[in-house]
Structure 1
């Protein structure tokens, strides 16, 4: 027998997630727990990957197994696909191993055709239900399988409602539904020049193939890149017997969470619609009822559902997100999964479950995605400003946070305006999965339709983005470029604010205040700090950034970029004097003007870090970056510096480099102009002396980092300048103070010769931004022009400047760590590129034995949690 590509639900279990996908594994587990799950089978993720290997074709072996398991499903259900007496209808749903809500495709009511629909009408004695199900199937199949825009079908429905003088879909009669079926099929045939398929097995195979294809649709690819999900995983497909929530008023469908996904409150939370199918709830077309109301409408089903919720949460030891359908009063479970939740809710649920004795602190730490914490670290609305502001509307607080920005009405607009440097709020009638990229870049999302479990709400919570949903008082005039509330119009580009914690909408910008770490957040981070072994430092160039990082839990600074201190006012003038100087004496005179300014910067940074280690990188960029580029600016600067414009033009020309990234910068500047290294050493050591005298309880040990070293001899040369200058200052001050001189490993040659460089360097800090550029041979600033082609063509899945390339760049780091330790066993090792704040890269740093990671201030808590998770996974 060949490979097994299909499993009945009862043949699987929750440990088969990689093969059955999350949905399939959980359906299997619920079936084994004796819960009311409609019969079905799962086509594995391996079938999906095989489909792509075979050139996007379902091979004969997989087809054979699908029909074999369809036969088993027919025997289980007592029904047959396409049968004119007792027909089986099925749903075809995606199910990747990682939850990707709304990103891939679903087809419901499959198996209906012109004959079967009449049988269903006769069997159910409900002609309206039968034809409603058929028109839904035609619309879904046309959209998902054939690529016809579902909005075109919605227009046909709207036109018919207008013709009948009705507003709600529920007011459409059986005859109306029949007419819609005819109109839908006519539209299908006119667009595709073929009849709507009547053979159910053909419908099934085309639907399964469409779900496989949806693994590679643009929104799924974007979501995978955003959440670091490999394309090699593929998606499973679940074929499941249909149960119907739209058969009448004793039927319904809903989505519920075992705890509140916005706040974390331990209370059943969800929504349902009677006489509806599942897509009606999540699409936000109708505003649903709260789950508590189900107790009055279907008490038996409600009580059974409450018991199942409790069982599932205890079984999975996590908050669950469930879909259910009630058919003729009987409850059926269609899905359970670990629920997406806001950061606030995630922390509360983790802490509460520890207090309830349900999970350990290690399990609690693994329940929260590090990236989620980002939403807690940015400013919130100022309470005083909120009290003065008058909301223009109030709706559902679907995902907490503060969002303020210019109004845009489409995902494309959001992307364009964000790329132009604007902050935007995306305002939509309702969101769809195609809006994923626009939602990602927007500050927040405001929708007219939809509830707390609509697509907008679920996706926003997963992203940590602010969302207010179901704001029905907004009248949308998207084509005219505005929405109105009452008599007031708000146009595209106007600034509004939305509060995802209260649901309030404001027609103005509202002041924000910085975030703080307290309550559950503080408690949770203490657990993380107790568990991790990696130190977490920050990249900070100003006392203000240093203090922010310290308040967020940074244990020191891994990178102070000193060049950022040279661009202000008098400093840039003195820097330019130094650049145009013709002798070392003239350069020193200019540098003497910069020295007190830089010394004061370091004093502020040392004090902000309260005695924790501070690593200061010496001047790195080429000198031409400090000079003007245009002729007008050169003339103006020449007059200011009492120079002839042609002389300054000559300096600019002399400093021009064809490839500045590989040019006269970093350590090379200090070799050519050692007086720069002298001045910076004076600033570092003099500041340390001043602060140490002021704070005798501290033990300051400045760390001086020489950038862009590629050879031991150039490092030795600059180190001598540093040591001579520092020791002279300490001798004159009659003071003992330890300082360390190390280097940034960012050139592949340095990584390969780490054993030699470690003879002199006391620490290595991996500058993975440049190390990635120089290993790949392309510029971070320019790579955006072609990386999208690499993603589209499956050459790259991730941006190597966002997630560390562990195969290539990682191999250099591993080798460098090994060789550095061979020469100097106590060498201190860190990373300070952008990767220092990326959870996946942090896990790599833990595995290879670094001492610390350094990241931007607002990523410090993310790095603290990621470091703890790395320890839990790898220890």
Structure 2
């Protein structure tokens, strides 16, 4: 049996699917005894029937609506369509809608050429009554027939003074607009008015973002809310406003918002202060409502209300939209107030709550303008949530940082080490790239070694600063992983410049032309000497092994200096091996030899590790050979982006840990990180996740969320098993 109409006083919060979110929310307020304008909802079932079986709606459905309106007439003592004391209605969709339609509320439904005069006598203000009728015509034309507001406004004229004659003229013009657009005349029958409004609102699709408010949703109609019109615009002790149970910008506890009194009730007081002064009992009710609703929903509440002749009515109550700062403060305060557990608060944190503040801090830190007047660390509330997250999570959160400033940002945001530091990022800055290219283009091995000697202190200096920032925490340093082709100058660009110099189109001299010729010839010779260098997967270290040696030397020289300064240094050197393990074995032997030469007796204070980064599917398939020479494995998320990538990665981890059960395994994320990645990492038994510095704070929370969600799923499975057994 179809449930077509539900009175608000008979509805419940659990009937959201039937009544819509707004209607169910008002029904909950009614059940709690709070003042709500009497009304009812046309249910989703009825609206679906409206569009799929209209004959049923105009029969039984129409009768149900008429009976519901009759209940409102009994409640108010007024009659819908009565010439002397007309009952007027407010009609709107009962679900949250796309922004284009969400603000539409059809007010004063029930006004026509006759009832407008009765309404005017009721309020003793004919200009106001006529203007309400004019607005109804405009909104009805827009909602029911899709006529743009601008068309009506063209006929409006200057009626700011609410002159009766001009208003009467505007009403006549608006009626003409509706007919000129090919629609039937505006209904003088109030029942037909109501049917038109119901039909229009039930067509608005709440499940899709539609720009046209007349879009038909045949699969499931939008429920419609109909209430007795409450007037807060005109008369003594009247007004309307919106309040928040806590400040939506800061999260500070207390009643905040705005209040607009009617012209007759206006005073010099501002916003809610006037309401507190003139209607202390009503203000007290609002305060009580906001506290109770917040306690029930465990969310900051936004409450719309109207005061009519000194009586308070609640129009709508919903969870408020908060700034990230307010959202974080509210979560922590709710825990301290006993409304939420720490785990519940953590599960509510969204990326936007954390990223904005973290990104602002990271930008300030990078531009070196952090001072006492600016935020130099995460907010107090975020720090509290991060402490709770650290108590829960079981995955270490590292950061990708190839610059000392990034390491400082990561450490301040709680990174437990560096998961990826690229030596090429340290050496390929605009100021250092010419030195690298000059070294690569060197004619002799002696010249190349001289070039490497110039680069070594640059790299060592960066590493010393990173070790200092990460005192006691691991620093994973990936050796140069670029191809020769990526470092050599663009030959075509060089040849174009040479031609320009020869033609005299560019300032220069014979010396620069000769130097350019030499560079071009050297690039071609390198390609001839190392034809494999242009092949995919061939790295610079394969062509010039001494480059690896320079990087390793810089690492251990930086480590030695840091140790002698009293720091605890934990370098973890990672090699992107593309062979079956022999390349990693060769480089590991080189690392051990260089460590012995440079560290000497201090080697016992430098517990370094050597690992491999697994980025492509081929490496993932040969991980069993690679792991023999690795202390840890770092997987790149490139694998996850492949079809079947999750299964491939899972297989690689299983194969690796079959050979080394306690092998350290982690995931290196270079793009934006999300809860899905942390959930996957938790399921795979990863030891760590490494992410961009500014994402460290959120990653710590997401790691806790992943574990909490896994526990919840385990409990659900156990409960299902118990119920099945029972």
Other-structure match for 2:416: 555
Contact 2:332/2:345 (<8 A) preserved = yes
**Distance in 1 (alpha carbons) for counterparts of 2:205 and 2:654:** 46
Aligned with residue 302 of structure 2, among 304, 307, 321 = 321
Deviations 1:839-864 (A, max 9, x none): 45444444443333333322222222
| Matching residue of 2:505 | none
Whether contact under 8 Å (2:5, 2:40) holds in the other structure is no
Aligned twin of 1:283: none
Structure 1 residue 550: Cα displacement: 0.8
**SS of match in other structure, 2:376:** coil
**1:775 to 2:642 alignment:** yes
Select the structure of larger CA radius of gyration.
2
Contact 1:107 1:137 in 2 (8 A): no
SS at match of 1:270: strand
* 1:318-467 correspondence to structure 2 within 5 Å: 318-377=299-358
Report the Cα distance in structure 2 between the residues aligned to 1:719 and 1:185, rounded to whole angstroms.
Answer: 84
Alignment match, 1:503: none
Counterpart in the other structure of 2:608 = 739
Q: Secondary structure at the match of 2:642?
A: helix
Q: Contact between 1:90 and 1:110, CA under 8 Å: does it hold in 2?
A: yes
- Taking structure 1 as reference, are residues 42 and 32 closer, same or farther at Cα in structure 2, changes over 3 Å only? farther
User: C-alpha displacement at 1:565, in angstroms?
Assistant: 1.7
Question: 1:341-394 CA deviation, whole Å, 9 max, x = no partner?
Answer: 2333333333333333333333333454342233433559xxxxxxxxxxxxxx
State the 1:209 CA deviation: 1.5
User: 1:118 is matched with which residue?
Assistant: 116
For residues 695-745 of structure 1, give each alpha carbon's deviation from its aligned partner in whole angstroms, at most 9, with x where no partner exists.
35x2x33223334x6x651xx233123211210022223223333333444
Equivalent-residue separation in structure 2 for 1:234 and 1:340 (angstroms): 27
Deviations 1:791-842 (A, max 9, x none): xxxxxxxxxxxxxxxxx65555555545544444333333332455434544
What does residue 556 of structure 2 align with? 685
What SS does the aligned partner of 2:306 have?
strand
Name the residue aligned to 1:704: 573
For residue 856 of structure 1, the aligned residue among 657, 669, 692 is 692
Instruction: Compare the two structures and name the one with the higher helix fraction.
Output: 2
Q: Which residue of 2 aligns with 1:791?
A: none
Q: Which of 150, 172, 179 is the equivalent residue of 2:162?
A: 172
CA separation in 2, counterparts of 1:148 and 1:822? 70
Asked if the contact 2:494–2:516 (Cα under 8 Å) also holds between the matched residues in 1, the reply is no
Describe the shift of the 1:647–1:19 C-alpha distance in structure 2 as closer, same or farther (beyond 3 A): farther
Please report how far the alpha carbon of residue 546 of structure 1 lies from its aligned counterpart in structure 2 after TM superposition.
0.7
Of residues 480, 496, 499 in structure 2, which corresponds to 1:619?
A: 480
1:678 Cα deviation from its structure 2 partner: 3.2
Q: CA deviation at 1:147?
A: 5.7
Residues in 1 aligned to 2:337 and 2:308: alpha-carbon distance in whole angstroms: 35
Q: TM-score, normalised by structure 1?
A: 0.65
Q: Which residue of 1 aligns with 2:107?
A: 109
Matched, 1:239 2:225: yes
| Structure 1 counterpart of 2:240 | 253
Counterpart-to-counterpart distance in 2, 1:645 and 1:626: 18
Residue 72 of structure 2 is aligned with which of 62, 74, 77? 77
SS at match of 1:309: helix
Of the structure 1 ranges 147-156 and 366-375, higher mean CA displacement relative to structure 2 is found in 147-156
The 1:753–1:725 alpha-carbon spacing in structure 2 relative to 1, beyond 3 Å, is: closer
Q: Are the aligned partners of 2:72 and 2:228 in contact in 1 as well (CA < 8 Å)?
A: no
Give 1:724-763 correspondences, 5 Å limit: 724-732=589-597, 733-734=599-600, 735-736=603-604, 737-751=606-620, 757-763=626-632
Whole-angstrom distance in 2 between the partners of 1:812 and 1:262: 46
Partner residue in 1 for 2:93 = 93
Offset of residue 645 of structure 1:
3.1
Output the CA distance in 1 between the equivalents of 2:56 and 2:623: 56
Q: 1:105 touches 1:214 (CA, 8 Å); kept in 2?
A: no
The 2-side partners of 1:67 and 1:874 are apart by: 50
CA distances 1:502-554 after superposition (whole Å, capped 9, x unpaired): xxxxxxxx998453235444333322322333322222111111112211211
CA RMSD after TM alignment = 4.6
1:206 positional shift? 2.2
Aligned residue for 2:305, secondary structure, equals strand
Contact between 1:43 and 1:66, CA under 8 Å: does it hold in 2? Answer: no
User: In the alignment, which residue of structure 1 is the partner of 2:135?
Assistant: 136
| Aligned residue in 1 for 2:367 | none
CA deviation after TM superposition for structure 1 residue 270, in Å:
0.9
Taking the aligned partners of 2:65 and 2:226, their CA distance within structure 1 comes to: 10
Distance 1:650 1:544 in 2: 37
SS in 1 for 2:377: coil
Helix, strand or coil for the counterpart of 2:699? helix
Structure 2: tracts of 5 or more residues without a match = 214-218, 365-370, 502-507, 712-726
> 1:271 Cα deviation (Å)?
0.8
Contact 2:584–2:626 (CA under 8 A) maintained in structure 1: no
Cα distance per residue 1:471-493 (max 9 Å; x no partner): xxxxxxxxxxxxxxxxxxxxxxx
8 Å contact kept, 2:116–2:133: no
The aligned residue for residue 496 of structure 1 is none
What residue number does 2:36 align with?
A: 37
Please give the alpha-carbon distance, in whole angstroms, between the structure 2 residues aligned to 1:113 and 1:756: 83
Q: Say if 2:467 and 2:562, in contact at 8 Å, map to a contact too.
A: yes
CA contact (8 A) 1:550 1:608 kept: yes
Deviation of 1:121 after TM superposition, in Å, equals 2.5
Instruction: For residue 273 of structure 1, give the secondary structure of its aligned residue in structure 2.
Output: strand
Compute the displacement of 1:332 (Å). 2.1
> Could you tell me whether the CA contact under 8 Å between 1:543 and 1:601 is conserved in 2?
yes
Q: Partners of 2:570 and 2:494 in 1: how far apart?
A: 46
> Are 1:59 and 2:52 matched, yes or no?
yes
Equivalent residue number for residue 648 of structure 1: 520
Q: Deviations over 1:220-239 (max 9, x none)?
A: xxxxxxxxxxxxx9996442
Preserved CA contact (<8 Å) 1:580 1:648: no
Counting only pairs closer than 5 Å after superposition, residues 495-644 of structure 1 correspond to structure 2 as: 513-517=374-378, 519-568=380-429, 571-581=432-442, 587-629=448-490, 630-631=493-494, 635=498, 643-644=515-516
Q: Give, in angstroms, the shift of residue 269 of structure 1.
A: 0.6
User: 1:716-865 residue pairs with structure 2 within 5 A?
Assistant: 716-732=581-597, 733-734=599-600, 735-736=603-604, 737-751=606-620, 757-768=626-637, 770-771=638-639, 775=642, 810=646, 813-814=649-650, 816-835=652-671, 837-865=673-701
Alpha-carbon distance change, 819 to 717 in structure 1, aligned in 2, over 3 angstroms: closer
User: Structure 1 stretch 758-767 or stretch 553-562: which is displaced more?
Assistant: 758-767
- Indicate how the Cα distance of structure 1 residues 717 and 28 shifts in structure 2: closer, same or farther if over 3 A, else same: farther
Shift of 1:315: 1.6
Pairwise CA distance, 1:149: 5.2
CA deviations over 1:115-156 (Å, ceiling 9, x no partner): 586377268445444443444344445556666554666676
Residues 624-670 of structure 1 show CA distances to partners (whole Å, capped at 9, x for unaligned) of: 444555348865999679744375278389989xxxxx985667444
Instruction: Give the Å deviation of 1:605.
Output: 1.0
Classify the secondary structure of the residue corresponding to 1:34: coil
The structure-2 alpha-carbon separation of the partners of 1:260 and 1:632, relative to structure 1 and needing over 3 Å to count, comes to farther
SS in 2 for 1:727: helix
Change (3 A) 1:682 1:43: farther
The whole-number CA distance in structure 1 between the counterparts of 2:692 and 2:66 is 57
Query: Does the 8 Å CA contact 1:376/1:515 hold for their aligned counterparts?
Result: no
TM-score by length of 2: 0.76
SS at match of 1:267: strand
Q: Distance in 1 between matches of 2:592 and 2:5?
A: 73
